[in-house]
Amino acid sequence: MTPEEYLEWEAKQEFRHEYVDGEIFPMTRENIPYNNIVLNLCSTLYPSVHQKSCRINLLEVKVKDGKNSRYFYPDLVITCNADDLKSRDFIEHPTVIIEILSPSTEKYDHGDKFKYYRQIPSLQEYVLVDSKSISVEIYQRGEGKIWHYSAYTEGESITLSSIEFTSTVKVLYEGINFETDTTEQQ
C-alpha cells in the first residue's frame, strides 16, 4: 500500500493503524491505568507546553516521518514547529514523543519504533512510561547519532530539556492502581 492509499484507507477506519514502509499495523486498545497515565501526562505538561507556544496532542494525532513515508500514533506528541501548529492532518516536526508501555507494545516501543523515531531530525526527547509499574525512561538526543538514556522511578523527578519541563514521577502516576482486577470465587 502506498502512503496515499494508506491515508485514504485510514480515514475510513474505526480503529487506528500505523504505517511503516508499506505495512499496516493495528493499534491496540488499552486499559484504565494506561488511559489515566496519558491524562496525567497531558494535564501536567499542558501549562508548560502552552506557555512556550508549543502544542501537545494525544492518541488520535498522526506523526508523519516524511523522509521515510511512515505514520505513527504516539500516545502524546509535543511540537513547537510553526508549520505543525497550523497543521490539521499530522505532525511532521515533533520535539517530544511519549509512549505509554503496555505488555503488547513494550518490545516494539523500545526497539523498532525507537529506531524509526530516531530518524526524525526534529525529535529531541523520547519518553517511555511504564503502565505496569512506576518507571519512566527518557532518551535525549545528543551529538550526531548519540542518544543519552536516563531511568527514573518513585521519589525522583524528570526533566524534558527541550521544553524546559520538570515534574516528579509521582505526579505522572497519581491515582493509578497497579493491582489487577480479581473476582472472589466462592
Task: Say if 76 falls within a structural domain.
Answer: yes
Task: Work out whether strand 23-26 and strand 55-58 pair parallel, antiparallel, or are unpaired.
Answer: unpaired
The 3-class SS string of the chain reads CCHHHHHHHHCCCCCCEEEECCEEEECCCCCHHHHHHHHHHHHHHHHHHHHCCCEEEECCCEEEECCCCEEECCCEEEECCHHHHHCCCEECCEEEEEEEECCCCHHHHHCHHHHHHHCCCCCCEEEEEECCCCCEEEEEECCCCCEEEEEECCCCEEEEHHHCEEEEHHHHCCCCCCCCCCCCCC
105: cell is 507494545
Contact 75, 92 (CB under 8 A): no
- Note whether 162 and 149 are within 8 A (CB): no
Determine, yes or no, domain membership for 23: no
The vertex-134 CA angle with 132 and 140, nearest 5°, equals: 110
Task: Note whether residue 126 is domain-resident.
Answer: yes
86 assigned to some structural domain: yes
Residue 88 lies in a domain: yes
Question: Would you give per-residue pLDDT tens digits along the chain (186 residues)?
Answer: 787 788 777 777 777 777 777 777 766 666 778 888 988 999 999 998 988 889 998 877 889 887 777 888 899 999 999 988 888 888 999 999 999 988 878 888 899 889 999 999 999 999 999 988 999 999 999 998 899 999 999 999 999 999 999 999 999 999 887 776 544 444
- pLDDT the model gives residue 61: 85
Q: What is the CATH number of the domain that holds 51?
A: 3.90.1570.10
Domain contains 94? yes
Nine-digit cell string for 24:
499496516
Distances (CA, A) of 121 to 17, 48, 65, 68, 186: 23, 23, 9, 12, 58
Provide the number of structural domains found in the chain. 1
Measured in degrees and rounded to the nearest 5, phi and psi for residue 88 equal -110, -10
Q: Are 58 and 38 in contact (CB under 8 A)?
A: yes
Amino acid (1-letter code) at residue 120: I
Asked if the structure places residue 115 within a domain, the reply is: yes
In a domain, residue 68? The reply is: yes
Question: Can you give the pLDDT at residue 186?
Answer: 42
Domain that holds residue 80: 31-172
Q: Quick one: pLDDT at residue 27?
A: 67
Residue 160 to residue 47: CA distance in whole angstroms: 14
